[in-house]
A = this chain, B = another copy of it.
Amino acid sequence: MPRLIATIREVAARAGVSHQTVSRVINGSERVNPETKQKVELAIAELGYAPNAIARFMAHGHTRTFACLSPNLTDYTFASIIDGAEREARRQKYFMITASAPDADAFGSLVEQLVYSRQTDALLVINPYVDERYTHLPKNVPTVFLGAKPRGELVDAVVLDDELAGLDAAEHLLALGHRKIAVIAGPLVEDCSQARLNGYRVALCKAGICEEPTLAYEGDWSASSGHRAVNEFIKTGQEFSAIFAQNDRMAVGAIQALREIGQRVPEDVSVIGFDDMPLASYFDPPLTTMRQDPFLIGREAARLLICSLEDSSSTRQVVQIPAELIWRKSTIAKEVVARRMTGLVY
Contact = CB atoms under 8 A, between A and B. Distances in A.
Contact of A282 (B95, B110, B223): B223
A295 B74 CA distance: 10
Interface string A274-287: 00001100111000
Contact of A279 (B53, B98, B117, B252): B252
A79 interface: yes
Contacts of A252: 279, 282
A21 interface: no
Give the size range of A's interface with the partner.
Answer: 35 or more
A53 B86 contact: no
A63 interface: yes
A90 interface: yes
B80 A118 contact: no
Contact of A284 (B86, B98, B283): B283
Interface in A249-278: 249, 252-253, 256, 278
A346 to B, nearest CB: 26
Nearest to A101: B90
A215 to B, nearest CB: 23
Nearest to A54: B57
A92 to B, nearest CB: 12
A116 B83 contact: no
A32 interface: no
A72 to B, nearest CB: 6
Given A51-B117, A97-B96, A282-B256, A73 B79 contact: yes
Interface in A282-303: 282-284, 295
A119 B53 contact: yes
A74 B63 contact: no
A4 B63 CA distance: 16
B50 A58 contact: no
Given A5-B116, A223-B279, A283-B284, A83 B54 contact: no
A112 interface: yes
* Residue in A54, A86, A252, A256 whose Cβ sees the most chain B Cβ within 10 Å: A54
A117 B253 contact: no
Contact of A117 (B53, B83, B223, B278): B53
A140 interface: yes
Nearest to A227: B282
A82 B100 CA distance: 10
Interface in A73-104: 73-74, 76, 79-80, 82-83, 86-87, 90, 95-100
Interface of A: 4-5, 50-55, 57-58, 63, 65, 72-74, 76, 79-80, 82-83, 86-87, 90, 95-100, 110, 112-114, 116-119, 140, 223, 249, 252-253, 256, 278-279, 282-284, 295
27 contacts: A4-B140, A50-B112, A52-B117, A53-B117, A54-B58, A54-B63, A54-B119, A73-B73, A73-B79, A73-B80, A73-B82, A73-B83, A73-B86, A74-B79, A74-B83, A76-B76, A86-B98, A86-B99, A86-B100, A95-B113, A97-B97, A97-B98, A98-B98, A223-B279, A253-B282, A279-B279, A283-B283
